[in-house]
């Protein structure tokens, strides 16, 4: 009996050593941060419940929810924050509701010129394109610039030649014609009160934190209605419209681009977090609700930090926005005070 017990004990010890112990070691080596999540925006501006039909509101809410769902599934499967950011933005670029890709606004000359940028918070690599006219998904071209060229930003014809060489999906200019944006340009022309453009909102952006603790940010836009041809806004400028750094946060902006460039908004949020060691929420509030407003600018940002904290301050009546954190449910909001 005694002998049998001894054998059994030995067997248990052997099983532990062969099967369980290595698992414990692996578990200790695994990254601590397995929380993940993302936040998105679909532009900020004069977005009032009183001026929006129930159907339109529903259309925006479900578009934002599908985008969150898409990003969440990528991150849940262990996909990278960069993949989540690119693919979420692709979805929004293909939706004519938003001022990016298909739904891009018109310049004063009746053309469409698109801007986009993406940044990897792990390596601080970044890519951007500006003023492109034939690119279906500018965010994907921005990622190619980051990964397949020695540059950070390519503009206009140079960007499009690079796109052709890499087999990127190109479209005719009339792909970007939508009745809604065309009419908005006509109204804008009639008002003749243009100074630097009052914007037609719907720029899209996404920030994400993946299971490995890597942050990424991306932004894509048609710019502002009635902008001068050749005008480039904040969206393709790293540090103004887009910024990501694993040590601090990932940020994407929307609003009157000239002010975001002058305030270097997204980098300012990251830098303030690093230097002052204060929370993302506090920092983003200071930069948007105080510094941007003081300069006369308007708009907002979405931001996420390495701990999965999300903040989305904006100065306007509304901002299409949402977030989805691991273990929780997706949240979509449009108006102020929601
Ligand atoms: N920031 C964009 C630009 O100035 C526009 C927007 O976000 O609505 O081009």
Is residue 145 a contact partner of residue 152, using CB atoms and an 8 Å limit? yes
Confidence of residue 191 (pLDDT cuts 50, 70, 90): confident
* pLDDT over 70 percentage in the chain: 87
Least confident range from 1-10, 92-101, 270-279: namely 1-10
- Say if domain 33-335 classifies as CATH 3.40.50.1820: no
Q: Which atom of ligand 1 is nearest to the CA of 199?
A: 8
Average pLDDT, the chain: 90
* pLDDT over 90 percentage in the chain: 83
Sequence-distant (≥ 6) Cβ neighbours of residue 206 within 8 angstroms? 38, 39, 40, 41, 67, 71, 84, 85, 88, 89, 92, 217, 218, 252, 302
d(CA 281, CA 164): 41
From 114, 116, 199, 302, give the residue whose CB has the most ligand 1 atoms within 8 Å, as the site to mutate.
199
pLDDT of 131 higher than 80: yes
Q: Which atom of ligand 1 is nearest to the CA of 115?
A: 9
Judge if the beta carbon of residue 254 lies within 6 A of ligand 1. Answer: yes
Confidence of residue 193 (pLDDT cuts 50, 70, 90): low
pLDDT of 22 higher than 90: no
pLDDT of 27 higher than 80: no
Least confident range from 118-127, 129-138, 188-197: namely 188-197
Judge if the beta carbon of residue 225 lies within 6 A of ligand 1. Answer: no
For ligand 1, the distance from its centroid to the CA atom of residue 318, given in whole angstroms, is: 14
Is residue 315 a contact partner of residue 298, using CB atoms and an 8 Å limit? yes
For ligand 1, the distance from its centroid to the CA atom of residue 157, given in whole angstroms, is: 21
Looking at 14, 107, 123, 203, which residue is catalytic? Answer: 203
Read off the pLDDT of residues 201-246 as tens digits, 9 standing for 90 and up.
Answer: 789 999 999 999 999 999 999 999 999 999 999 999 999 999 999 9
φ/ψ (deg, to 5) at 249: -165, 175
- For residue 9, what pLDDT is reported? 56
**Mean pLDDT value of segment 174-182:** 94
For ligand 1, the distance from its centroid to the CA atom of residue 26, given in whole angstroms, is: 46
Domain coordinates in residue numbering, the chain = 1-30, 33-335
Read off the pLDDT of residues 286-307 as tens digits, 9 standing for 90 and up.
Answer: 999 999 999 999 999 999 999 9
Global pTM reads: 0.88
For ligand 1, the distance from its centroid to the CA atom of residue 77, given in whole angstroms, is: 32
Least confident range from 19-33, 62-76, 109-123, 145-159: namely 19-33
Q: Is 203 a catalytic residue?
A: yes
- For residue 206, what pLDDT is reported? 98
Judge if the beta carbon of residue 235 lies within 6 A of ligand 1. Answer: yes
From 131, 242, 254, 258, give the residue whose CB has the most ligand 1 atoms within 8 Å, as the site to mutate.
254
Confidence of residue 8 (pLDDT cuts 50, 70, 90): low
- For residue 189, what pLDDT is reported? 86
For ligand 1, the distance from its centroid to the CA atom of residue 337, given in whole angstroms, is: 22
End-to-end Cα separation, the chain, in angstroms: 72
**Ligand 1, atom 7, residue with closest C-alpha:** 254
pLDDT of 259 higher than 70: yes
Q: Which atom of ligand 1 is nearest to the CA of 44?
A: 8
**Mean pLDDT value of segment 315-320:** 96
Judge if the beta carbon of residue 234 lies within 6 A of ligand 1. Answer: yes
Judge if the beta carbon of residue 221 lies within 6 A of ligand 1. Answer: yes
- For residue 29, what pLDDT is reported? 37
Confidence of residue 10 (pLDDT cuts 50, 70, 90): low
Confidence of residue 115 (pLDDT cuts 50, 70, 90): very high
φ/ψ (deg, to 5) at 252: -130, 135
For ligand 1, the distance from its centroid to the CA atom of residue 20, given in whole angstroms, is: 54
- For residue 24, what pLDDT is reported? 41
Judge if the beta carbon of residue 257 lies within 6 A of ligand 1. Answer: yes
pLDDT of 113 higher than 60: yes
pLDDT of 181 higher than 80: yes
Q: Are strands 153-155 and 126-132 parallel, antiparallel or unpaired?
A: parallel
**Mean pLDDT value of segment 176-182:** 94
- For residue 212, what pLDDT is reported? 97
């Amino acid at each position: 009996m005694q002998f049998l017990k001894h054998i059994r004990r030995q067997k248990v010890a052997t099983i532990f050593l062969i099967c369980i112990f290595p698992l414990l070691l692996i578990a200790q080596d695994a990254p601590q941060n397995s929380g993940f999540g993302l936040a998105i925006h679909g532009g900020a501006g004069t977005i009032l419940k009183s001026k929006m039909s129930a159907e339109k509101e529903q259309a925006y809410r479900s578009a934002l929810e599908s985008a969150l769902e898409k990003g969440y599934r990528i991150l849940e499967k262990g996909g990278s924050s960069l993949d989540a950011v690119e693919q979420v933005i692709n979805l929004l670029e293909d939706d004519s509701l938003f001022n990016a890709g298909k739904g891009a606004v018109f310049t004063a000359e009746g053309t469409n010129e698109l801007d986009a940028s993406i940044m990897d918070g792990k390596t601080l690599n970044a890519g951007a394109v500006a003023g492109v006219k034939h690119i279906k998904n500018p965010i994907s071209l921005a990622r190619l610039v980051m990964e397949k060229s020695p540059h950070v930003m390519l503009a206009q014809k140079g960007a499009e030649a690079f796109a052709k060489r890499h087999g990127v999906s190109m479209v005719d200019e009339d792909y970007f014609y939508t009745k809604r944006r065309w009419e908005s340009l006509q109204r804008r022309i009639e008002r003749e009160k243009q100074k630097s453009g009052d914007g037609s909102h719907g720029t899209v952006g996404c920030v994400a934190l993946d299971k490995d603790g890597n942050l990424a940010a991306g932004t894509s836009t048609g710019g502002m209605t009635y902008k001068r041809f050749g005008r480039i806004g904040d969206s393709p400028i790293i540090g103004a419209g887009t910024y990501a750094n694993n040590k601090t946060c990932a940020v994407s902006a929307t609003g009157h681009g000239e002010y975001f460039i002058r305030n270097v908004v997204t980098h300012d949020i990251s830098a303030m977090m690093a230097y002052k060691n204060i929370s993302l929420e506090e920092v983003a509030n200071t930069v948007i609700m105080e510094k941007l407003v003081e300069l006369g600018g308007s708009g907002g940002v979405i931001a996420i930090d390495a701990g999965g904290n999300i903040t989305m301050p904006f100065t306007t009546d509304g901002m299409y926005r949402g977030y989805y954190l691991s273990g929780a449910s997706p949240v979509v909001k449009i108006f102020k005070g929601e």
